[in-house]
Amino acid sequence: MPLIRTIYWDSCIFIAWIKDEKRPPGEMDGIYECVEEVEAGRNRIITSVLTRTEVFEANLSQEIKKKYTQLLNRRKVQLLDQDLRVSGLAREIREYYERQSQIDGLPGLSVADAVHLATAIHYRVDAFWTFDNGGYKARSLLSLNGNVAGHLLVITKPVATQMRLQF
pTM: 0.89
In angstroms, what CA-CA distances link 18 with 8, 31, 56? 16, 10, 11
Cβ atoms < 10 Å from Cβ of 15? 20
- In the beta sheet, which residues pair with residue 44? 6
Domain annotation covers residue 40:
yes
As a whole number of angstroms, the longest Cα–Cα distance in the chain is 49
Domain span holding position 91: 5-156
pLDDT at 120: 98
Q: At what angle do helices 50-57 and 62-72 cross, to 10 degrees?
A: 160
Domain annotation covers residue 17:
yes
Give how many domains the chain has, as a whole number. 1
Domain annotation covers residue 166:
no
Domain annotation covers residue 53:
yes
For residue 128, the domain's CATH number is 3.40.50.1010
Domain annotation covers residue 108:
yes
Query: pLDDT in tens for each of the 167 residues of the chain?
Result: 457 899 999 999 998 998 889 998 889 999 999 989 988 889 999 999 999 888 877 777 888 888 888 877 877 888 899 999 999 999 999 999 999 999 999 999 999 999 999 999 999 999 999 999 887 677 999 999 999 999 999 999 998 876 554 44
pLDDT at 167: 40
Residue/partner pairs of 15-22 with CB below 8 Å, 24 or more apart:
15/55, 15/58, 16/131, 17/71, 18/55, 18/60, 18/64, 18/67, 18/68, 18/71, 19/58, 19/60, 19/64
pLDDT at 115: 97
Annotate 96-164 with DSSP letters as a single string.
HHHHHHHHH------HHHHHHHHHHHHTT-SEEE-----BTTB--SGGGTT-BTTB---EES---SSPP
Instruction: Round to whole Å and give the CA distance between 76 and 82.
Output: 19
Domain annotation covers residue 167:
no
pLDDT at 148: 98
Domain annotation covers residue 163:
no
Domain annotation covers residue 161:
no
